[in-house]
Chain A
Amino acid sequence: MLLRPPEDTLRDLDKIIIVCIFILVAAGLMAIYSATTALYTPEILKGNFAKQVLWFTIGVMIASAVVITPMKFFHKYAYWFYGIGLTLLVLVLFVGSGKGSHRWFVLGPLRLQPSEIAKIATILALARFAASEGVDLRRLKDVAIIFAIVLAPALLIIKEPDLGTAIVFLSLAIPMLFWAGLSPFIIFILLTPMITLVAAFNEVTFFIAMVLVIGTLVWLRARMWIIFAVFLVNIAVGVITPKVWEGMHDYQRDRIRTFVGFEEDLKGSGYQVNQAKVAIGSGGFWGKGWLHGTQTKLRFLPEQHTDFIFTVVGEEFGFFGVSLVMTVFLTLLLRALLIAGSVKSKFTALAVVGCVTAISVHVIVNIGMCVGVMPVTGIPLPFLSYGGSALWTNMVIVGLILNAGVRKFQYL
């Protein structure tokens, strides 16, 4: 009963999304092949192309399983998944491994990242809570619970530490709250201190940010006391942040800089950012051609088959290839949003929005990092970066989206 597919599954599958996934995975495989067949490729990387093909094959099976599972199942066990996810995140802090961190479990040849499982679990838990009867987002308590749902795993992940992934978790809340009906006005007020936090390091940007925030509030005809409160909070953040920063020891500041990825050391991550830009920029419009990227072949970039995979696309296929891949991503995301906007079930819609948010944040942060507008945080590019556990998570996400598309008219 549970696993019986609805008769119209095949017909109702969103073919465009499937085509997008295949294009993206194909692009990723080409880039992985190029990045791991250089002259001095370490032995350990040489089989990565074949492994990724295997991971994708398994991923297709996982996605199929997700598609034929009724949405009810995910709704019913959402909190259970969330509980398991949190437990694993706690566990990984004690027995996990990683480069100077505790990010994954090693199970024989497999590396399992609990943050991947927690990502899906958190999306489902958020969707279930926000879609529950009696939850009213005008109540501060309910909004606080939603923030608590993302904050718990995010804090555990920061502890690993893995800031990039934590950002993905934190960013899930706002779009889902927005979709669940929280007033854009409140969302804006919630966002202002974050803008101020970044802008506060320079008097001019701080002033501009304050003028924009207050100006927008006045334009939106906010109540006087709200404007005043927001103004006070922002001033406080703006004044305190630089003071706190200056009060820190040098090593603490360095740690934060490295943590956030603003290190401009040419041998450290600054080197990566620079070489990534050189690789992408040198591709020009048409690129140097597949397997002909010199930055790629001569290994000027570390992690090029994983986090920096998009630089291979940029170097070997140029602006043309970059535009193509980004268009495919956008098509995938817009199609998914189309499903979210048309499903009858609020839980399903919110789950799809969560999925879209997760993929979007990954894509924007990763691509932005490659082209030097985002800090180096080490989160992979969905469907392109090498790695089984991330690919499977993304295939589950795709499965959920396709599942929602197939069961558009069901109320659970």
Chain B
Amino acid sequence: MELTENNKRLIFSAALCLIFFMLLIRFAYVQLYKGDEFLQASEENRLRTIAIEPRRGLIIDRNGTILVDNRPAYALYTTPAELSNPKSDSACNILAAALKTTQQELREHVRRNNRGNFIPIKIERQIDFTTLSLLQERRLDLPGLDFRAESRRAYPAGVKAPHLFGYLSEITESELKQWRDKGYEAGDLIGKKGLERYHEKILHGKKGKRYAQADALGRIVGDLTGTNNQALQNVPPVPGKNLLVSIDASLQRHLETVMTGRRGGAVVLNCKNGEVIALVSKPDYDIELFSKPVTAALWNQLANDPAKPLYDRMVQSLYPPGSTFKMVLVFAGLEKGLIDPDERVFCPGYYRFGTRAFGCWKTGGHGAVNLLQGLEQSCDVYFYRMGLKVGLENWANYARLFGFDELTGIDLIGETAGLVPDEEYLDRRYGKNKWSKGLILNVVIGQGDVLTTPLQMAYFAMTIANEGHSFKPHVKRGAKDPMTGIEEFDQPDSVKIAGIRPETYALVKRGMYMVVHGSHATGRAAQVPGITAAGKTGTAQNPHGESHAWFIGFAPFEDPQIAWCVFLENGGGGGANAAPIAKGIISLLLNENKLVPGPKHFAAAR
């Protein structure tokens, strides 16, 4: 069988046509049938979504003073490719030395966070200026190094209240689980503690998005071009709102200065709406140190410090309130008709109950005292007698009525509720019938099992001042949108303490007035010429050391504007040590006419 030249040509040509046609079918399949799929794959290849951090909201005090500001800082980035080759040893050494770490740790960090050899990774945030300039000088020896601006918190008003403000730190893995659906990613900063955390949603704002294109090595090579996908429009970030707080910078600063070197603090509330005007807890820690990443060493040092600087004593810590709690018994006794305010009790300096003698703070005794004198002089014997009359259950009911077993609901992190012991509690704690009736003598003078936070005591003072019309304590007054300039103010949460007659309030307030202005006043150290005030001292015995000094109160007496609680841990006598601090509060706020007439928010609150 011999083929002609023409047939050979035809067979060869047909074979070529067939193969080319089959290849073309394959192209049709890839380009036409699967075209959209591959187009999407090619878009995914190049598309990079870059988050744009929003500017965090500022914290601004009641007079418009900026308490917490942003200032530019620099984060250090490097390109893994530049550190992964063995020739990079010298660069690695320079970097490790500048960042006070080891070469090993640095390489390990880079290896762990590597998402592509040409994708820059953050190796340190908020480097200080010295480090920055040091690295800038050696830039030529450090290929791949990059600085990116990021914001760092600054405290321009000199108010460095770490417990109040809180701080920012990188989001932890467990937090990420909770916050991821709100757009947070690993490496993002989030408020920890205080206002920064409680109002994170307001302060943070919303991240923006920039769509860029990256090449095969993951390098960003400019904006996304040539796409007609409407969903890929850049989204500008929405800055966080400025937090308008009720703090008065000068009072806060004053109290921070006064409290420096001491343990304890003060809470000052606005009686008209529950605003927190000052909240100081000492000892604390340097908030500036927390505006950049906290080293493990610093953290351990603070966490293990016996002075417990990480605790907000005003909000988180519980203490026996001492004599400042005596008003609770007065309310219970008067309302239940078990105390006759005119009844006189003789105080010989002690009270014998069963086999035990319970002492009065004044060992010489107060002689015969009635209710007002008992309050003014804080006579323990008077209250022992009344406590037995009123009984533990009645007392506990009224303590709960004033909310001592609940949180006040302040907008800070970690608030603790007080402890109001009743029979059920004592049965549980000591066993049924295993506790002596004498325990009631202790709790009615604020000792023993009863525990409160200083914040609760300030809230109690405000409730008395307002005769039951109280407000939830709060630091945030409102928020201001930095884009539109629109300010929005919150309505204060009104809390009504029901079931106490105005006459009862009048009597208690009268007694508290006497504490400051009476002839035997225990709180006379709080007197400010020209301003009437009412208060109650407390000196809570403490089995672990020196007594705690308390002074709660409100002023002016006739039309209360402010209520406070001053607390000194192991501070000794309340009248001698805590009351003078209250004097400073009164004179600073009321003498200098700071609150009346107040900013417009005062009017709004009415």
A281-B34, A298-B214 known; A341-B16 Cβ under 8 A: no
Distance in Å from the Cβ of B164 to the closest Cβ of chain A? Answer: 50
* B26: interface (CB < 8 Å): yes
Chain B residues, Cβ within 8 Å of A372: 26, 30
A294-B42, A294-B45, A319-B27 known; A284-B214 Cβ under 8 A: no
Q: Which residue of A lies closest to B38 (CB)?
A: A281
Chain B residues, Cβ within 8 Å of A280: 27, 30-31, 38
Contact status A341-B8, CB under 8 Å: yes
Contact status A278-B24, CB under 8 Å: no
Instruction: Write the B365-395 contact mask toward A (1 if CB under 8 angstroms, else 0).
Output: 0000000000000000000000000000000
Interface of B: prevailing SS = helix
* A19: interface (CB < 8 Å): no
A40-B219, A281-B35 known; A298-B45 Cβ under 8 A: yes
Contact status A326-B20, CB under 8 Å: yes
* A381: interface (CB < 8 Å): no
Q: Which residue of B lies closest to A274 (CB)?
A: B41
Distance in Å from the Cβ of A96 to the closest Cβ of chain B? Answer: 29
* B1: interface (CB < 8 Å): yes
**Contact size range, A:** 35 or more
* B12: interface (CB < 8 Å): yes
Chain A residues, Cβ within 8 Å of B217: 40, 299
Contact status B19-A39, CB under 8 Å: no
Q: Which residue of B lies closest to A314 (CB)?
A: B31
Contact status A183-B31, CB under 8 Å: no
* A323: interface (CB < 8 Å): yes
Distance in Å from the Cβ of A278 to the closest Cβ of chain B? Answer: 5
Distance in Å from the Cβ of A198 to the closest Cβ of chain B? Answer: 17
Contact status B41-A282, CB under 8 Å: yes
* B221: interface (CB < 8 Å): yes
Contact status B221-A371, CB under 8 Å: no
Chain B residues, Cβ within 8 Å of A173: none
Chain A residues, Cβ within 8 Å of B42: 278-279, 281-282, 294-295, 300, 315
Distance in Å from the Cβ of B13 to the closest Cβ of chain A? Answer: 5
Instruction: Write the A280-299 contact mask toward B (1 if CB under 8 angstroms, else 0).
Output: 11111100100010110011
Instruction: Write the B126-165 contact mask toward A (1 if CB under 8 angstroms, else 0).
Output: 0000000000000000000000000000000000000000
Distance in Å from the Cβ of A132 to the closest Cβ of chain B? Answer: 18
* Interface locus among A49-57, A60-68, A157-165, A174-182: A174-182
- Complex: A52 Cα to B363 Cα, angstroms: 110
A322-B27, A371-B27 known; A284-B32 Cβ under 8 A: yes
Chain B residues, Cβ within 8 Å of A319: 27-28, 31-32
Contact status B9-A338, CB under 8 Å: yes
**Contact size range, B:** 35 or more
Contact status B12-A175, CB under 8 Å: yes
* Interface locus among A3-11, A203-211, A329-337, A389-397: A329-337
Contact status A360-B16, CB under 8 Å: yes
Chain B residues, Cβ within 8 Å of A315: 42
* B173: interface (CB < 8 Å): no
* B23: interface (CB < 8 Å): yes
- Complex: A341 Cα to B222 Cα, angstroms: 56
Contact status A371-B26, CB under 8 Å: yes
Chain A residues, Cβ within 8 Å of B3: 181, 184
- Complex: A356 Cα to B15 Cα, angstroms: 12
Chain A residues, Cβ within 8 Å of B20: 326, 329-330, 364
A283-B35, A294-B42 known; A183-B1 Cβ under 8 A: yes
Distance in Å from the Cβ of A109 to the closest Cβ of chain B? Answer: 28
* A150: interface (CB < 8 Å): no
Distance in Å from the Cβ of A154 to the closest Cβ of chain B? Answer: 21
16 A–B contacts from the bound complex (CB under 8 Å): A38-B215, A39-B221, A40-B215, A277-B38, A281-B30, A282-B38, A284-B36, A298-B216, A299-B215, A300-B42, A314-B27, A334-B16, A337-B9, A341-B9, A342-B5, A364-B19
The 3 lowest CB-CB distance pairs between A and B, nearest first, are: A281-B38, A341-B9, A282-B42
Known: A181-B3, A340-B9, A356-B12. 14 other contacts (CB 8 A): A39-B215, A181-B2, A184-B1, A184-B3, A282-B38, A282-B41, A284-B39, A295-B45, A298-B215, A319-B32, A322-B27, A333-B16, A337-B13, A342-B5
Residues of B within 8 A of A (CB): 1-3, 5-6, 8-9, 11-13, 16-17, 19-20, 23-24, 26-28, 30-32, 34-39, 41-43, 45-46, 213-217, 219, 221-222, 226
